[in-house]
Amino acid sequence: MESKNINLIPEKTMPVYHASKLDSSRAIRCNLYEGASSLSLTGAELVRVRFLRPDGEHGSVIVPHSSGSVLDITIPSDAVSVPGRVYCKLKIGDLGCKAFYIEVERGV
């Protein structure tokens, strides 16, 4: 499982996760921050990831979670079925959102 720090304070660069369209495990881990402080969820927030593939197809997934500052997200297979850069947007209730990419490698 690839792990990245996700800061809800706007930054100049977006995190990039890596995946292969043949991966059976498409889990990513987001360590949540707001500035220099970790962001702790209560478990009541609606967490959703929307994605846009390079071919224009899009979708979303609701992320089950509990309290804490770490989100483990299983990316749906249709999000990584096309090689290239998938644009994703993580929305955490009313707390904010953060964009990131998943770089999908070609399967051999």
Mean pLDDT of 41-68: 93
- Residue where the block lists tokens 């979303």: 60
Using CA atoms, how far apart are residues 107 and 89, in angstroms rounded to an integer? 24
What is the SS3 assignment for 83?
Answer: coil
Report pLDDT for 71.
Answer: 93
Would you state the pLDDT for residue 61? 93
Q: 101: which 2 tokens?
A: 């990419």
Contact 31, 4 (CB under 8 A): yes
pLDDT given at position 1: 81
Angle at 8 between CA 5 and CA 14, to 5 degrees: 60
pLDDT tens track for 81-103: 899 999 999 999 999 999 999 99
> What span, in angstroms and rounded, lies between the C-alpha atoms of 17 and 22?
15
Q: Domains for the chain: give ranges and CATH numbers.
A: 2-105 (2.60.40.3350)
Q: For residue range 30-54, what is the model confidence (pLDDT) as tens digits? A: 999 999 999 999 989 999 999 999 9
